[in-house]
Amino acid sequence: MLNIKILMGSSRPGRFNIQPSQWIYEQAKKIEDLKVELVDLKEINLPFLDEPVPPSLRKYSKDHTIRWSKIIDEADGFVFVTPEYNHGISAVLKNAIDYLWYEWHYKPVCYVSYGSYAAGARAVEQLREIAGECKMYDLRDQILLPNYWENLGENGQYKFSDQQDKLASEMLKQLVFWAKGMKELRGKLNNQ
Ligand SMILES: Cc1cc2nc3c(=O)[nH]c(=O)nc-3n(C[C@H](O)[C@H](O)[C@H](O)COP(=O)(O)O)c2cc1C
């Protein structure tokens, strides 16, 4: 069974991130034969990178790194749900990515982003550069929520439209397609 992890890229109190993360999680759960998990970086609670050697050497000395490595290692694909902070990605997400290297390799990634007019697009562009360096396969597909605060109901809940549900379904189909193919290819690589 394919394992898709949804990385929640904000750890702020009162973060909006929970809503799009939960939404894309529910959309992914509609797909058969998929194990979908929310990965809350607030709960994972990694300190600022404190490993003495770079992750490319894969010599982890801290329990939290070993735990984090296991979580990402078992994934076959990712959705990064990201805010945009000062035209970039959040420190908590960058830190979590930087902890590891091999664990990201040859796995597809797509994005849900949100913010003001640009809807987090600049943060996603940064993530695309980082994905390349980590040898992830960066899907074209992404979902953008511009000025999300204009679309909150009285209860503070974002009103996702049918069109957004459809976009999510299309994006997730792509993610599953590549996750399947790349899992097979990773198996061949490991057997060499
Ligand atoms: C430190 C900081 C910097 C921000 N910079 C941007 C920005 O560059 N572009 C943008 O669209 N929104 C920006 N915002 C507004 C965020 O889009 C908004 O606060 C959003 O809710 C943040 O995501 P979160 O609630 O999940 O943490 C910024 C917010 C914070 C806290």
Residues 158-177: pLDDT tens digits?
A: 999 999 999 999 999 999 99
Phi, psi of 134 (to 5 degrees): -90, 10
Domain extent for 170? 2-191
> What confidence score (pLDDT) does residue 190 get?
73
Q: Is the CB of 19 under 6 A from ligand 1?
A: no
Distance 184 CA to ligand 1 centre (A): 38
Contact (CB, 8 A) for 104 and 70: no
Contact (CB, 8 A) for 101 and 134: yes
Q: What CATH number does residue 62 fall under?
A: 3.40.50.360
pLDDT score of 125 more than 60: yes
> What confidence score (pLDDT) does residue 103 get?
97
Q: What is the mean pLDDT of residues 85-111?
A: 98
Distance 117 CA to ligand 1 centre (A): 11
- The total number of structural domains in the chain stands at 1
Q: Where are the alpha helices (DSSP H) in 74-161?
A: 91-98, 121-133
Pairwise pLDDT comparison (187 vs 143), residue with the higher score:
143
Alpha-carbon distance values, 34 to 22, 31, 88 (Å): 16, 6, 31
* Atom 2 of ligand 1, residue of closest alpha carbon: 85
Q: What is the mean pLDDT of residues 12-27?
A: 98
The pLDDT confidence band at residue 192, using thresholds 50, 70 and 90, is low
Q: What is the mean pLDDT of residues 13-20?
A: 98
